[in-house]
Amino acid sequence: MIAFAEGTSTSPATRSNGYDVIVTGVDGRPEVFTDFRAHPFAGGRKSKVINSRGLTSNASGRYQFMLRDYAHYKAQLKLPDFGPASQDAWAIQLIRERRALPLIEAGLFAEAVAAVSNLWASLPGANYAGQPMRPLAKLQAAYLAAGGVLA
């Protein structure tokens, strides 16, 4: 559901179900990476300009993780790389930190989304300036289509 919300799993450029997607810049061209050894910006690549005001981002992967958080979660979770399993483990840890796992397990979808909305710009209530949010109903439909269960 998060990958659907962030647009990574549905990106026309992805060859890896969104795990390879880099944030789209002001040029509007989708971009992917192929080296999963580390966050694609970890080697010193400059962040991409993502709007006309000059805002930059290095959000990457299925869950659009920022480089500023990479070293912390790589060490905490002992992530061997930036591959799909590592990205999934990191996302689950973020959800766990927001105490949303019990909400998901209880089928309380809207409450779980609200609990993590500050982490992903595309979620309702995120309030990231200039970032579009997906409607809760569309997110719930994606969640159910992926096998999620509601209370």
**Active site (catalytic) residues:** 6
Q: Cα torsion for 99, 104, 108, 113, to the nearest 10°? A: 70
The number of CA neighbours under 13 Å toward the Cβ of 27 is 5
124 burial level (CB within 10 Å; 0-12, 13-18, 19+): middle
Distance separating alpha carbons of residues 128 and 89, to the nearest angstrom: 24
